[in-house]
A and B are shown apart, each in its own frame.
Chain A
Amino acid sequence: MRELPLLFDSVGVSIGATPLLTDLSLTLNAGAPTLVIGPNGAGKSTLLRLAMGLIAPTRGRVTWGGHQDPAPRRRAMVFQRPVMLRRSALQNVTYALEQAGVAKETIETRASALLAQVGLQDIAHRPARRLSGGEQQRLALARALARDPELLILDEPTASLDPAATRAVEDIIAQAADSGIKILMASHDLGQVRRLAGEVIFLSHGRLREHSAAQMFFENPKTPLAQAFLRGDIVLET
């Protein structure tokens, strides 16, 4: 079964009486990365958790390749704050491979290849929870790539990294995108959005304000909110 197209059909999410997302419709197809931007609290993480099937919409529906079963098949996610299993870096990857149903004989080779891909081969046997923030972020990426995803969801994967580490993570993401993986990623870093995005989703106050090709969005944002956001004006979520 395929994961794409990912379809949001008039989706709303509320907790109690508080709406986190309101009447959101969008279609995501294979192709260049889709970057989700918007102020703190705009609903970016909520949107990504819906796309991953971790929460159910209160209204409307989400479908993956036309089906409604939220069990992840070829989807993977890197969280805003990834949690490392209490195991070595290598075992974090082999665990993900096992869960993805990879044949036992190939797990070892696949795991080494994934660690090499994210540049962690030399610290494969270190406890994952002792790694630095940037290393953990890359390990989380390796774990996600272990699922051989068709759709890879990333929630601000470089938020607390220095420029070098950010570049390392961006390279891995760009590589994954080139290999045909659809990227859906939240980011606060407009430079990063320019570097990676094929299209942009702009959220504020839990509503989708713009969904357009990256170039269009940066050159000619349609809504005043997006214009202000791009100018660097403070767009408050109140």
Chain B
Amino acid sequence: MPEGLSAWQLVVSGDPALYAIVRLSLMVSLLAVGLGALIGLPLGGLIALVRFPGRGALIVVINAMMGLPPVVVGLLVFLLLSRSGPLGSFGLLFTPTAMVIAQAVLIAPIIAALTRQIVEDLWLEYRDELQAMGVPPLQRLATLLYDARISLVTALLAGFGRAAAEVGAVMIVGGNIANHTRTMTTAIALETSKGDLPLAMGLGMVLIFIVLAVNASAWGLRVFAEKRIG
């Protein structure tokens, strides 16, 4: 397959167009994970520790949002950011910022749901001891988040995986504009339909490599933690 060969050459020769797209994608997804973590970690922790009216409904909504197709999330964020939408005055539509927001909305529920499960399990284990030490509620949350940090990083990596692999949300709110909002996944979709297979395949290789690397670090972290933290 000659396309395969030239795709490989694009990757190893450090093709600037290809790596500009990779850089933007990574930047967007990493910032989205940061933003999603800022919302998802405390939210998941609170739902785990606090009983309040509507808690069950909130859990259902979060679980449902985990399963939403990215295009639907993209559409919702599009409506929010479009000129006539509630956040239209910021002029964010078709910018990398819009893509970060859309991906954060996409993965915050994943991070929140996984965090809730992780923190709740650890709370069941720690409850008696922390109560006997008189640990006040906010410090309980801090202790649980800290002691569950390894599992929580795994949750963040899962969020990153979903962000890096999705195409629908960034396509809608970013617009797939060359040199501006074109990410790996949207570029692959476009180049494949245009018939430029080498670039599409090159990006595909990089994406596969990134996903593998993310999972390898999750695994490595687990092994390390088993040894060091117990």
Question: Which chain A residues border B148 with CB–CB below 8 Å?
Answer: 86
Question: Which chain A residues border B230 with CB–CB below 8 Å?
Answer: 84, 86, 127-130
A99 & B229 in contact (Cβ 8 Å cutoff): no
B135 & A54 in contact (Cβ 8 Å cutoff): no
A-B contact count (CB 8 A): 50
Instruction: Please tell me if B64 contacts chain A, counting CB pairs below 8 Å.
Output: no
A147 & B129 in contact (Cβ 8 Å cutoff): no
Q: Which of B147-205 contact A (CB under 8 A)?
A: 147-148
A83 is contacted by which of B129, B134, B135, B139 (Cβ under 8 Å)? Answer: B129
Question: Which chain A residues border B147 with CB–CB below 8 Å?
Answer: 85-87
CB contact under 8 A between A52 and B132, given known A83-B126, A85-B147, A87-B147: yes
Chain A residue, CB-CB nearest to B225:
A86
B interface, size bucket: 10 to 19
Q: Which of A49-89 contact B (CB under 8 A)?
A: 52, 54, 71-73, 75-77, 79, 82-87
B131 & A54 in contact (Cβ 8 Å cutoff): yes
A79 & B134 in contact (Cβ 8 Å cutoff): no
How does the 8 Å CB contact mask read for A76-107 relative to B, with 1 for contact and 0 for none? 11010011111100000001100110000000
Q: Give the docked Cα–Cα distance between A49 and B224 (Å).
A: 37
Chain B residue, CB-CB nearest to A82:
B129
Please report B residues at the A interface, Cβ cutoff 8 Å.
125-126, 128-129, 131-135, 139, 143, 147-148, 228-230
Please report A residues at the B interface, Cβ cutoff 8 Å.
52, 54, 71-73, 75-77, 79, 82-87, 95-96, 99-100, 127-130, 143, 147
